[in-house]
Every structure is written in structure tokens, then in C-alpha cells.
Structure 1
């Protein structure tokens, strides 16, 4: 998850967005790359939790760094199709249907940084931490793992057998990445053992330095790596305000910068040292409504907010200066260029300020006239819209548009800027907001969305940070996850989506296009489409 925004500007020539399956990475064989060199990549905040199976670890940058150094058993290609990674797996397949059994054959050369080989014990520890039976593990998503009945050793030390209670269609998304049992077997290890550092790794790269003062994290090739030797000498992640990323690229302080935002695209496209690369990513921008507190506890108020927000106006403002056509997004589970997409928003996605006013009347909020907030029991109808101080002008523009729209129906919106490194950890992750906008990205397996919409359990919000859910949605998503017939699963997800709109969980805005500025001469890197992992063993500088 990361920041989003919108911006106005002069119209640009429009093209269709890249179709699913497209990517631009300047693909080259390894023989074209020189040995050595450093790649400098920006990230949005300092990583405080590297176990991204916890709510505090759900930042997208944390996930990327962890996957750089831990075993990613399956890698998806540009079309989102999963393939085993031979550095970790010889094979993985469903070997029985009743019950469903998946058998993994591990690469015997694969070892953790503490010298232990990957084994069934790592799978067992991760299952126990994430199956939801022990609340001491602060797991953000138990879906899939809660369908497993047993994890055991197979025919030998390199074989793992996973037995499921019910059929589970997205089994390839589980244990990705695989975490080491030696640092994952107790609640304390799970919750606190990955704070500020990675204790054990098993990748082509390892983290060599955490410089919190300089806000950089340096990765170098692991000399104990058993696979192909990386071309790069170092990969340096640097924490930057999103608003500073374009300048950092233009000043040659980084080698990549996001160019999806209009103000960034205009500047980066003119740089003679920049290659603009485009692809189609699962990437949605939305506004989360917090139904766990304040006026938004009332579904009528949430529905009023939905009706008062002109989604098309926000989408048009964002897309004014980028080269692709942007349309409203009408689905929480599918992107417009994906099979299964249908617009389920109905009346809940329609801009209708008069309906918003009627809903607020029904909820008991008294209209006090134009320009004044409504009141109830002597209290004004006031919502906070939380923004990261490290965001860009486009994010501010979007918040101000929402502020104006809600103000027209009597809802006062206070825009609250909070420190960049606190935005998720102290606000979004804890449900400490009324309105917040961020992105959900790379939900390549449909069941990955379950934790975003499931009902919270006590203080565990999973990823449903606004605490809006229902038993009906949970049941539909659980059934969909067990359905191996793709068309039937699609129907169930669309039924759930209609309920998500009705409850006012979040306001979908648009699919954000994938546009990246990359330093010329950098190969096998850029806009990856639906590819889930960057293979840094293949990234490097051309000779």
C-alpha cells in the first residue's frame, strides 16, 4: 500500500492503458550486462516491521524488501501466472484431491543464513502462526492457512506435504515468502523478532546495512547464495518523501522514479537520461471510510459520503496530464482489464448530492444551511482526512476536492497532515482516522483481498482498517476461496463486491496506471505488469 493522488493540468494525448500481460523492462540476456554497479531505488518510509504478515508490516516497501531476501516459492509473470522458482523448489503440485494435498519438493541446496536447510518445519511454523488458532500471533491475514489441517514431512527431508480441510484454489499464494522456523515459531518472534531488521534470510541478496540516520537500507549479494550470481554489487533503498522522488532522479541520486502522477510525468519524460516504461499492474486508488468510530459508524452516513463524492471528477483531475485514459473503478476485486470485472457500484458509486442530503436527514443530522456543518445533539458533523506529510501535491488536491464535495452536503472535513513514517504505523494500521486514501496493489490471487474486507476480531483489524464488514461478506469470500471453478469463484467475488459497496466500506476511484522512469542503460527493470517479484539476479547495467 502506498500514497495516491490527483491533479489538474492541461490535456495530453490519450492512449488506451496497457493491456493485461504487458510490461516494459528492456529485457536482455545476462551476457549483455556488465558485472558490478549499484542500483538506487526510492521507498516511501523507514521499515519498522519486516514481517509483513503482521498488520504493522503491511507497507508495500516492507513487503518488497522482505521478498528480496527471503524465499519466494512462486513468481508470477507479466500475465500474473504463477511458476515455481527453481532456486527453492524442484516442484510443487496438488497430489490428491480428496482431501486436497499439495506436495512441495524443496531444492536440496537451499539454506537459511544460519546454515539450516529449508524444511517442512519452516512451513509448519508459518502455518501455526497464521492459521488463526492462536490469537497471540498478531496475524493480519489467516485466509488459506486456516484451511490447512496438517503440515508434515513427506518422503524425505526435502519433501513437504500440506493437507487441506477444504479445497483451496489459491494455494500457490501461501508460504510466499517462506519464513524461517528459527525466527517464526513463537508469538514473540513473530510479533517482535522482525522489528527494524531481518534476523535470518535466504536470498541472492542480504541486508548489509540499516542506516536509520541516513534513511538508507543497503543490500549486497550473499556469498552463500547457491543460485546464479547477481550482476549488481549493491542495491540501495533510500527513504524519500514521495514529493522528492522526481528531483532525486533528476539529480541522479536514484535510478528509478514513479511517473504515474501528472506533475512527475511532465518533468521525467523530458529528461534525456530517463527511459519511460509502462505496464499494467493490479493497482487501485480508493478512499477508506472508518466505520469503527464517530459519525461513520452509521451506514447511512457512509452511504451519504459515497453519494457526495464525485468519483469521475477526481479521476479526471488525476488523469488530465498523463498519456493514458483513466476511468472510474467499479469493483474492489478486479481491475477493468481483467476477466471477471463488472461495475457493481450501482447507486452507491453514483454522484448524487441530493441523495446524500436525504441520507443525512434520515440519520438525524440537521441541515444548518449552506456553508455550515450539520449538527446532531449539539455536535457538528466533522470528519478528519489523514494525509502523509511526505505525500505530493496530487494527494493534497484529492483531499481538497473531497473536502469541497462533502462540504456541499454539510459534512465538514479537516485535512490532517501527519509525519510520513507514522502515516501507516500510527494512523492507518490502527484505524486512527475517519477518511484515508492509499492504494492496494498486486492482489494477484483473489483470496488475498479477504483480509481487506473481513470483519475484525477484537483489536486485530487484519487489513480492514475501517472496520466495515459483515458475516455475509465473510461467508461469500470464504466460499470463493474454496471454489476451484474459476467462473464460479468470479461470481462469488462479484456478489461480495456488491455488498462491500452497499456497506460503504471504501470508495473506489480508479486503476492507477504503471508508469516508471528508469535510468537509461538499466536492463530487466521497469514496469513489470502483473509480475509479483523483481528478480534482482537478472537486473543490471548494460555493457
Structure 2
């Protein structure tokens, strides 16, 4: 099962859709999370289930032990291979996380890094940041406008040698300059950008990213410079562990914990590791894992409603380069049947998610799927016939120019049984319209790096998390530039979708922006890019006594306040 936690500040992180979550109707969760039964959850803003405790109630010292979904090779979160939930979270603890979000999704400057950050002009849009003069990197240099400038120059997309996760927001910036002194930064936008607080977060040091070589290769298997309350203790590839320890040079409030330990565990092993008191939290999102964890000794269940969705993505190669074929598959897949499969053992019904950009609990959500994924096998058959894929008979594989219509659904070998059952169901559905679908199991450790990142799939299912604010999701549907696919692993896009998303990201009026985002979403459904399934609440088992830490939501974790109750 997956235990990745959402990290704010970068493009949405991709994580395996192998912990299929409870979505329980009724009252929204809240409070301390001290109970031992699942709370009823409805998607809602402003709720946080993390056992909130004042610092006086928290012990000094102690260790937080966390599972890692896979070994982290690339530590630069701005680089295309570095944008995974676990890695991004760790980087926000060891680098300069200049903004935090609260449970309603509102951004607040982190006083350890910024004394202020505000819009000082609207025509053009200018943001003035004033850096806390105490803030320093581990190489002794003060944080300055040079760090902001380096992040912008690496991330604005103008130099293709920087292999980016996303250029969204940075490509709208026309200049980054020194203000009254080196600790005052003036960022000027050529076009308005509504979600400016999401940029430069976390901030990385100019010394580590100023050249493409440093940006792409300087953070592989190491974190060369830090600037957070914690620093790297050890990175042990042999033991598959990473430890963080408090940085004695940290100028802010002292962290309560004196050690964070991360250990790579196969998805199937994490539940047992929690039961064996080897890790301090684990996903309880599937019926199986919840059944094992709800009564765990020294455990509690905590719930949240983050930006988190489960979907099936199409590749853009071979037969699937044809939009009509992708649309046909959209009519051949019965979403409601797939959702029932993952509902087995869970006493509620998942509701389909009909939007790629908004979650159901966000203002602006509307259902845009329309007829594009309406279950209509006859329509699918007709479309394939029209495209020249001829059927030799019912249940047999179609061919075109002598080639069979054979596709591959790539799944992780660490997937929960429900995920494997879902893939098998899709296989059966496509067989009904003459498509042979092979279900290929691959190593969970290679799933993203060797398959999803490289676009080596026809169908694949994973979760996208943390696409909030909305502009950070632009990268997932952005037109690739050369070898850089941003977050769009399918490599499917159109100039119209690209334009609508960028217009929306530059629209300061949230109502007008939502209209543009929804126009883009309608076109994404038509494109046959992704079949959305459902929004995934966060349901986790957490060790009793762990304070200010729990199920992820729109708020991020303030690691300075996490610790063990007295």
C-alpha cells in the first residue's frame, strides 16, 4: 500500500494507486484523531486530523520512522525525476520551505525565511519578498535574490538543457532582481500569475542549480546543500534508508524530534511493518489494510481529504496515437464496475470523479466527463471499425494492415489485489471490443523511473497528489518540449488545451480562472488523455501519541511541531 504524503509547493506528485481508499459518507473528520475506528469522511475544506497539540505537551527528542515507497535517486524536486511525494516531502524539511498552507489551502509566509511577501504592483504584477537576514544555507551563504533568480532561470523553460518537472509560473516571470539589498527580491511577471505563492517553494540554493549539469546531476544520490531545520544524517543505499537530524546551525525554533528515519519497504510489507512497530504510520486505505490496522496495538486511524485522485492514463504511442482509438476505449471501460471492484470490503460507494483539475471539495468543480467515458461498447466497436481495425469475430483480436490490436497495461508488482483485479477487469472489458490487453507486472522500484517516466505504457494507473493550487496541474497536460514531458507522461496534448490552461493560470479572478480550467478539462476528456476514477481521501494508521501529524489534507506538515506527546 502507498503511504506517500502530499507535499505542497511543487507540481503534483505521482504515487502508485495501490492503496485504494475508504470514502465514507457522513460527518467530516476533525479533532485529535485519538479514536480507533475510521471516521466518516466527506470531502471538505478546513479539516485537519493530526492530533493537534501545543508544544508544551510534546517531548523533546524522539524518532519518527517512515516508510519510503521507492529509493530516491534524484533529490532535486524541480527536476523531472525528482517530483515524488516522499522525496518532495523530505526536501521541504531540509531546504527553505518559504510558505506553508493551512487546512483551507491558504498560503502563509514562513517567518524563518520571509519577513514579508506581497504584491507591490499589479500592472505589471510585481511580488516583493523580504528575506529573514538570519536565513543561511549550509555552505554559510545568506539566502538572497540570487537563489530566487537561479530557480527562475532553471525553471522558466528557456534553456532546454534543464530537464524540468514544470515551467508553470516561472515562464510568466520577466525578471528577478535585487531590491533595496540582497535580501529583498523583486519578481516581475510579464503576464499575471495568480498562484505566485506556490513558486520558489522550497527554495534551492543558487550554488546547487546554476548550471544544467548541477541541476540535473548534482542532486543524484545526494543533497549537496541544505537550508532547513533538518539536514541529511545518512543516505544508505545498501540498507535503503535515509535519516534526517536537526541542523545545529538552524536559526528558527528547535524541532521537537531528534531524528527522522525513512526506510524503503515494498508496498505489501508496510502494513506488517506498522504492526511490528517498525514504522509509525501506514496507509489504511484499502479494505484489507484497514481491517488489519484499525485495531493495531498503539495505533489510531486518522483521515483527511487532500487533492488526491486515482485514474487510468493512456500512452500516446502505437495504436493509441490515434485519438479515436483512445476515445473508443473510453466507451469500452465501465468506470462504475471498476469502482465496485475497489469497493469490495468497504461499506460505501465511491463516486466517479468527473474532472481532471478540481477535486469535488474545491470551489469551481463541475462534471465535465460528459459522454466521452459513457459506457457504450457498441459505440466503441463502431469507432474501431471506422478506424480500420477489423474484427475476425466476437471476442477475437482486431487487426489492421495485418497487425493485431494488442496493448499493455503496466502494473506494479507491489500492487494491492484490488488494483490487480481492476487491471484484469479492464482486460476483460477491452477483450469484448476486440482489443487484446496484456497485464504486465513490473518491479515497484522501477515502475515510475523505467516505465511511467519514459512513457513505456499503453495503460497505467497511479495517483496524482497535491495539485493545489490548480496551476501546478498544468504540467500534467502541457505540451512536451523535445524530450521534456514535464508531468505529461502520456505525451498527449493540444495547443488549445495548453493555451486554456496557461490562460487560467494567469487569471487573477478565481471565478474567471475556474471557467477556463473547466473549458480545458472538457477538452482533456475529449482528447482521451486520462480516465479519472475517483477522489481518494487519506486514511492512515498512526502510532498513538504522535502529535501534529496525521492524514494529509490541504494543509502541509509543520515538521517543527511534530513529536511525541508527554
TM-score normalised by the chain length of structure 2:
0.93
| 1:318-370 Cα deviation digits (max 9, x unpaired) | 23334654200000010112111111001112111111111111111111223
The equivalent residue for 1:277 is: 302
- Map 1:122-201; keep pairs closer than 5 Å: 122-201=147-226
The equivalent residue for 2:469 is: 445
> Aligned equivalents of 2:68 and 2:21: distance in 1?
25
1:17 and 2:42 matched = yes
Distance of aligned partners of 1:446 and 1:116 in 2 relative to their CA distance in 1, 3 Å threshold: same
Q: 11, 15, 20: which is aligned to 1:2?
A: 15
Segment drifting more, 301-310 vs 60-69: 60-69
- Map 1:491-510; keep pairs closer than 5 Å: 491-510=515-534
The unaligned stretches of length 5 or more in structure 2 are 1-13, 27-39
- CA RMSD of the aligned region, Å? 1.7
The equivalent residue for 1:421 is: 445
Whether contact under 8 Å (1:260, 1:322) holds in the other structure is no
The equivalent residue for 2:120 is: 95
> Aligned equivalents of 2:436 and 2:42: distance in 1?
36
The equivalent residue for 2:541 is: 517
Whether contact under 8 Å (1:204, 1:229) holds in the other structure is yes
The unaligned stretches of length 5 or more in structure 1 are none
Deviation at 1:391, TM superposition (A): 2.5
- Map 1:220-299; keep pairs closer than 5 Å: 220-291=245-316, 293-299=317-323
Secondary structure in 1 matching 2:271:
helix
The equivalent residue for 2:557 is: 534
Whether contact under 8 Å (2:20, 2:536) holds in the other structure is no
The equivalent residue for 1:350 is: 374
Whether contact under 8 Å (1:78, 1:528) holds in the other structure is no
Secondary structure in 1 matching 2:203:
coil
> Aligned equivalents of 1:236 and 1:373: distance in 2?
50
| 1:58-114 Cα deviation digits (max 9, x unpaired) | 222221111121111111111111111111110100001111100000011110011
TM-score normalised by the chain length of structure 1:
0.97
> Aligned equivalents of 1:59 and 1:129: distance in 2?
19
> Aligned equivalents of 2:418 and 2:236: distance in 1?
30
> Aligned equivalents of 1:324 and 1:216: distance in 2?
37
Deviation at 1:303, TM superposition (A): 0.4
> Aligned equivalents of 1:75 and 1:8: distance in 2?
26
Distance of aligned partners of 1:322 and 1:538 in 2 relative to their CA distance in 1, 3 Å threshold: farther
Whether contact under 8 Å (2:423, 2:439) holds in the other structure is yes
Deviation at 1:317, TM superposition (A): 2.1
1:120 and 2:145 matched = yes
Secondary structure in 2 matching 1:206:
strand
Pairs aligned (count): 540
Whether contact under 8 Å (1:150, 1:163) holds in the other structure is yes
Whether contact under 8 Å (2:49, 2:302) holds in the other structure is yes
Q: 332, 336, 345: which is aligned to 1:321?
A: 345
The equivalent residue for 2:396 is: 372
Distance of aligned partners of 1:196 and 1:318 in 2 relative to their CA distance in 1, 3 Å threshold: same
Segment drifting more, 370-379 vs 520-529: 370-379
> Aligned equivalents of 1:201 and 1:467: distance in 2?
34
> Aligned equivalents of 1:39 and 1:16: distance in 2?
26
The equivalent residue for 2:490 is: 466
Deviation at 1:428, TM superposition (A): 0.6
Deviation at 1:18, TM superposition (A): 4.4
